Each structure stands twice: as structure tokens, then as C-alpha cells.
Amino acid sequence: GTIIITRSYLVDAVIDGDGDGVYGTPGVGDGGFSAVSTTPGTRATFSLELQNEGSEPESYTISWNAIPGWNAALDGNPSPYATIVLPAGSSVTYAFDADVPAGAAPGDYDFIIDVVSAIDPINTESVTARVTVVPVPPSYIAIIVFDDTDHDGSYDPGEPGLAGVTVTVTDPGGDIIGTTGAAGTYVFDVDAGLLRDVIETNPAGMYSLSPDTVSVPAVAAGDTAWVYFADVMGPTLIPNNVTNAPAGGFADLSHTITAGTSGQAVISAILPAGWTEAFFRDNNGDGILDPGDTPLVPADLDLDPAVPGLDVVPVILRIFIPPTAPVGSIEVITITLDQTFSGTAVTASVSAFDQVTVIAAASGLLQLVKEVDLIAAQPGDVITYTIIFSNPGTEDVQEIEIIDPTPAEVDIELNAFGPGQDVAWVNGAVTTYLTADPADADEAMYD
């Protein structure tokens, strides 16, 4: 036969199944090891089993070290904890919980758990419970701002994104602001678990077909919430004209309407009392009222950027100035284009402002129109300005000086048409090149 002789008192602590039959040194924790990974603001739980390996009933005192800011407990009890009496050969299992502070830095945090016999202080055991704190993965709010070409307020395949739109996400630490890229997208990295608002700020000329503020429920760590903003571009009406016209005569004002999205538009003008107007479609686009131009009808303003002839509509506003209009008076004519986007109740309104100076009937006239080839430009782009001036009057106009200050945001492109050719002067079929160099004595002069 075999006789097994045991110590009267012997305890074995097993943590999460590790350390069975291993007896650790007090305060060292080498009798068993367990590690749990978690994030700040959560709880790490370990299973601690005490086995009475001796031949006598015994109870124990369990204690562990404190970590500043942390809360740890054994079955909800603080350190130290006195166990029940365990009969020889029996065991008991406890839950050891460690609450990780919300501000805990990533890293390893060790709890050394010591077990000491209440009867024989020499009978001890020691194990380690390690909590590895890892960073909380962010949650994501992905935003798409798109050109809602079918005006249904929903994002459909093939609808292009809109770049340059400012989007904002609310945050307890201050609002977070971004700008959509070329695909109309922007992704925010935010802390998980918070209710937030996403706000869109439309650039000038853009109109919303969906709410500009969207509430986003709390997003779990690592998850993504998608927010869509349905927008369309409104129409443009350019340019603002400055011209002279005789009392008792006509002033013809040329404008270009460009469609941003589909929808019926109407155009109107606000005139001084006694003045009258008529709108024509400039069929050849030359800015002059010709016999081939036709009165503007509603079908001309059924705008649609996808339909040739309705994407860009050149128009001429002819104004009759009554003979009683005071010579020398200056009137500003407001031209307004209102477009209702198809399938919606959303209306866009844009205006142009033309200045007309009333001159005597028998006079030379100076009509001036300024155009630009780009509606918007980025740094490094080249912008071409065209100034068209003519004399539709009855007498010659001489010694004309055109002063056209350039904005501070642009620089004159010297040698734009070749060496020493800075400005192109076009008179019929003849083009003459002038300089724009302040060091040149006859800068930009033409006889």
C-alpha cells in the first residue's frame, strides 16, 4: 500500500486556472499568474480558487496591494478579507474585480494577492492578477455631401460628391470642424459613447435638400455612423454691367444664366418709375440684340445642366428710358432669377445689379461689360478677365481711360500672350498687344 503524508496546514491559490500545485512567496505573486486586457472605464474580473490541501480545517486572510485611483474587491469585499473555514480537501472560488479608472493610462497594472492561514502564519500563498489597459478605439462619423441630382433627398449610386463643404461635429471639448474632399467625404475620429450633432454649412450658391443638422446616437468603439447631406448647386446670373444710355432710348444689358441643377426659373427686373423692360434670348451669344434673338419664354428657363441649351442661357435685358429721365442720373437695375428645383418646394434666388447713367439723346455712349472665365479659382490658377467696351451712341467718344484695379488676391500675369505682350486689345479682326508694366512709359496705351 501507499501512505501519503500531508502537512496539517497547506493552502494552494489558483488564479484563472493557473498555479495549481505551485506555492508562491508572499508579496511576490509567483504562485500563479493571470492577465486580462481591457480599456479605461471598464472592469477586469479574475477567478480565484482556494484549495485546502492540508489535513485540517482552516480559514484564511486574503489581501492585495492598492493602486491609486483603482477600486478592487473580492466578491465585493475590500482588502483584507477573511474566508470561511474550509474543510480539509475542499475548495472555494471567489471573483476578484478591478475597476479601471476612466483616465487610466495604457500599460500593465499588477495586483499581488496574498493568502495567509489564520491558524498557521507560515502557511501562505501568493498569486498575480495583471490588468493590461489598452487605449479605447475611437468611433467614427463618416459624412458624405453629394449633388442630389434627382432631388429625392437620398444618396444614390452615381450621384457625385461635393467638395469644399464645411461640416461640424459637436464635442464636449469643443466643436470639431472639417471640410469635405474631392469625393464629398470627411471622416471624424471621436470618442465612443456620446450623442452628437453633425452640422453642415453650405458654401455660397449651394442649397440643401436635407436637414443641415443631424443627431447621431452614441457610436460604439470601432464602429462607424454614416451621415448624408443632400445638396444642389443653385443657378448663377452674371455679370453686373455698367453702361450709359440716352433719355428716350434703349439700354441693352447682357447676362448669362448658368444652371446648377434642374428646375423652372423666372427672371424679373426692378426699374425706376416710367422705365420699361423686355427680356430676349441671345441666340448667338454675342451680347448684342440681333434680329435672330427671340423674346424670352418660360421654356428657355426650364434650366437643366444636363441639357444643352438649358445649361447655359444667354439673355439680353432691353430697357427703354423715358425722354423725361434726368440727364446725368444714375440708376441701379436689380435683375433677379428665381428657380424652383424640380420635384421640390426649394427655391433659389440670385441677382445681378446693372448701373445705367442717363445721358443726353445726341451723345456718344460708352457701354462697358466685364467678364471672367472662371466662377471660382484655386491658388495657382490663371484667370482671364475680358473687358468689352463699345459706343452705340450717335457721336464719337475719345480719350477713353479704363481703370480696372486688380484684387489683392491676384497678380497680373506678365507676358501672358508672349514676351512683352501682357494685354490683348481686340478690335474686329485685329489684335494688338499692350504692356502692363508700370515701368513702361506708355503702359497699356493704344492710339
For residue 155, what pLDDT is reported? 94
Cα distances from 279 to residues 239, 308, 313, 315, 378, in angstroms, run 16, 20, 12, 7, 34
C-alpha 353/C-alpha 341 separation (Å) is 24
Give per-residue pLDDT as tens, 58-82.
999 999 999 999 999 999 999 999 9
Distance between CA atoms of 228 and 198, rounded to whole angstroms?
A: 10
Q: Are 442 and 433 in contact (CB under 8 A)?
A: no
Cα–Cα distance measured from residue 228 to residue 157, given in angstroms and rounded to the nearest whole number: 13
Q: How confident is the model at residue 445 (pLDDT cuts 50, 70, 90)?
A: confident
Q: What percent of the chain has pLDDT over 90?
A: 72
400/147: higher pLDDT: 147
Mean pLDDT of all residues in 173-195: 92
**Predicted pLDDT of residue 252:** 94
In the numeric block, which cell numbers belong to residue 338?
A: 428665381
Pairwise pLDDT comparison (339 vs 134), residue with the higher score: 339
Q: Are 12 and 23 in contact (CB under 8 A)?
A: yes
Which residue from 405, 429, 268, 406 is spatially nearest to 333, judged by alpha carbons?
268
Cα-based angle 435, 441, 447 (whole degrees, multiple of 5): 65
- Please identify which residue in the block is written with the cell numbers 440727364: 327
What are all long-range contacts of 373-376, with beta carbons under 8 Å and residues at least 24 apart? 375/236, 375/238, 375/258
pLDDT at 440 over 70: yes
The predicted-structure confidence for 92-135, as pLDDT tens digits, reads as follows 999 999 999 988 999 999 999 999 999 988 899 999 999 999 88
Query: What is the pTM assigned to this prediction?
Result: 0.57
The pLDDT value given to residue 110: 96
Where residue 362 falls among pLDDT bands split at 50, 70, 90?
low
Local confidence band at 9 (pLDDT 50, 70, 90 cut-offs):
confident
* Residue with cell string 467696351: 389
pLDDT above 70 for 447: no
Distance CA 411, CA 406 (A): 8
Sheet holding 176-179, edge to edge: 176-179, 166-169, 196-201, 213-216
The CA distance from 329 to 350, in Å, is 26
**For range 144-165, the mean pLDDT:** 93
Q: Are 70 and 100 in contact (CB under 8 A)?
A: yes
Q: What is the mean pLDDT of residues 238-252?
A: 92
Question: Is pLDDT of 393 > 80?
Answer: no
Sheet strands (E) in 148-195 = 166-169, 176-179, 185-190
pLDDT at 358: 93
